Amino acid sequence: MIPMKTLNDGNQLPALGFGTYKLNGEDGIRSIVSALEAGYRLLDTALNYENEKEVGEAIRRSGIPREEIFVTTKLPGRHHGFDETLLSFEESRMNLGLDYVDLYLIHWPLPRIDKYVETFKAMITLREEGLARSVGVSNFTEEHLKRVIDEIGVTPAVNQIELHPRFPQGAMREFHARHDIVTESWSPLARGNEVRDEPVVTAIAEKHAVTPTQVVLRWHVQLGAIPIPKSSTPERQRENFDVFGFELSQDEIASVSSLESARLWGGDPETNEEF
């Protein structure tokens, strides 16, 4: 069984999840079903991935009871605003074909538009109505989080941020820990090959008789972050899920963190705008 983590609202979610970006159409449904068969119980989608219907269909096809699966989706930039958020949520919920969503996130803060505070107020309304069991944000900086907490008095349950050995996010993780916000890591494998090819990572993998990708995912778990790796391949899905049978030493965690260089593609939350 996969370990669970508890959110600041008391709800629980698995310590590792499955990313679904780019999993579209019939092939996408098949990949998501195989991830569920491999044991994943946390699915991460977004209105902007244009695959919420596929995620809903995969859940139904898997035959796994809906309440055993933790479903996350996200509000796009074009729908920031109180009323817009309520409507956008309904669109996502209809796409998914679900009565409720487990976690609803603001996809990007878009500080230039400056509507993320009222947007989060609408998220809280959705939570109060039981339509979104937990509410959180994605790509928020300390400043954005502080404004939400100060102006609304509610702390988002989750902040899903870019986090991988090239960008370990030490300061954000500390801030999250102080405020009881769970960190989720997007692009946990840094999307490409170069992290798992790093000699530091391959040496640790050899020592533990695991794969370099498993070392990277275990590093996330021991940092206390929830990685949501994506893979279209059943074998890789199983490999990525199997990271709870070994433990890295503090030195090994530090060596993986020493691979820090920069964000993958410049997704700076202060300036990146996705609508």
Q: Is residue 49 annotated as a catalytic residue, yes or no?
A: yes
Residue from 182, 187, 215, 248 in contact with ligand NAP (CB under 6 A): 187
Residue 239 lies near ligand NAP (rule: CB under 6 A): yes
Least gap, CB of 95 to ligand NAP (angstroms): 15
Q: Which residues on adjacent β-strands are paired with residue 160? A: 138, 184
Total residues in contact with ligand NAP, by rule CB under 6 A = 24
Nearest residue to ligand NAP, using CB?
19
Q: Taking CB under 6 A as the criterion, which residues in 47-86 touch ligand NAP?
A: none
Choice from 51, 92, 138, 255 touching ligand NAP (CB under 6 A)? 138
Q: H helices of the chain, where?
A: 25-38, 52-62, 82-96, 116-128, 142-152, 170-179, 199-208, 212-223, 234-241, 250-257
Among 78, 236, 238, 263, binds ligand NAP (CB under 6 A): 236
Q: Can you tell me which of 39, 232, 253, 263 binds ligand NAP, judged by CB under 6 A?
A: 232
Nearest to 123 by CA among 106, 138, 142, 148: 106
**Rounded to a whole number, what is the distance in angstroms from the first to the last CA of the chain?**
38
Residues 192-231, mask of contacts with ligand NAP (x by CB under 6 A): ---------------------x--------------xxxx
64, 32 in Cβ contact below 8 A?
A: no
Angle at which helix 116-128 crosses helix 82-96, to 10 degrees, equals: 50
Return the number of other C-beta atoms located less than 10 Å from residue 75's C-beta.
31
Distance between CA atoms of residues 102 and 21, nearest Å = 18
Query: Which residues of the shown chain bind ligand NAP in the complex (CB under 6 A)?
Result: 19-21, 44, 107, 138-139, 160, 186-191, 213, 228-233, 236, 239-240
